[in-house]
Chains A and B, each alone.
Chain A
Amino acid sequence: GESVGLHLPTLSVQEGDNSIINCAYSNSASDYFIWYKQESGKGPQFIIDIRSNMDKRQGQRVTVLLNKTVKHLSLQIAATQPGDSAVYFCAENIIGEKLTFGTGTRLTIIP
């Protein structure tokens, strides 16, 4: 049967501040990485992606950093808003193969 659910790592940030969510990935052969946002009771929503030949990519208010040496991925959200409160998942894959999701981080924006 399924194991007891683990507590998600949590991060609380004051509204307007910047937040950084970290993720350690497992497969050194992965060449594509994605950050998803999941609100309660909804499916994952694409935020930003990055290929392994890059170490930084910026979107609107979000930046993803990739450190392949230590297999680390981070998501920076600038000027956080209440609507940013959600669970954030990183995902990795080798292009053409299945996605593997990380454990997730719950971000709470404090008004």
Chain B
Amino acid sequence: GAVVSQHPSWVICKSGTSVKIECRSLDFQATTMFWYRQFPKQSLMLMATSNEGSKATYEQGVEKDKFLINHASLTLSTLTVTSAHPEDSSFYICSARDLVWVVGEQFFGPGTRLTVL
């Protein structure tokens, strides 16, 4: 149980275009989902916390108008990278916390590799 999926697994786009990444909890309901970004040979950096039905909370230094997050249901959160540029190329990972929350456990998706040309 506790499976989180992401779609797409990889995407290549031109500079200036927008890209949407989906994060789904497949077998549980998630009131809270988290979006992370990971650059090569670096750790995961939290970008934002997404709560179902409310606005996302962004970490310091993350542009909320550039990284649009929508958490419209208990099983789906989306991250849209607007007007993407090469410096946005990264590995984007989501995680979800079960509605029946056990301690602090989060379940991670497989990640989405974004390459902006």
Interface of A is mostly: loop
| Cα(A32)–Cα(B39), bound, Å | 25
Shortest C-beta distance, B117 to chain A (Å), equals 18
**A1 touching B87 in the complex, CB below 8 Å, given contacts A32-B103, A32-B104, A96-B104:** yes
Residues of chain B with a CB closer than 8 A to A7's CB: 41
Is A93 an interface residue, CB under 8 A from the partner? yes
- On whether the beta carbons of A103 and B43 are closer than 8 Å, the reply is yes
| Residue total for B at the interface (Cβ-Cβ under 8 A) | 26
B68-117 interface with A by 8 A CB criterion: 87, 91, 93, 95, 103-111, 113
- On whether the beta carbons of B108 and A89 are closer than 8 Å, the reply is no
| Cα(A7)–Cα(B11), bound, Å | 26
| Residue total for A at the interface (Cβ-Cβ under 8 A) | 28
| Cα(A108)–Cα(B103), bound, Å | 31
In the complex, the chain A residue whose C-beta lies closest to that of B4 is A43
Is A41 an interface residue, CB under 8 A from the partner? yes
Residues of A within 8 A of B (CB): 1-2, 5-8, 32, 34, 36, 41-46, 49, 51, 89, 93, 95-96, 98-104
* Subset of 9 A-B contacts with CB under 8 Å: A5-B41, A5-B42, A43-B6, A43-B110, A46-B108, A51-B103, A96-B104, A101-B45, A102-B43
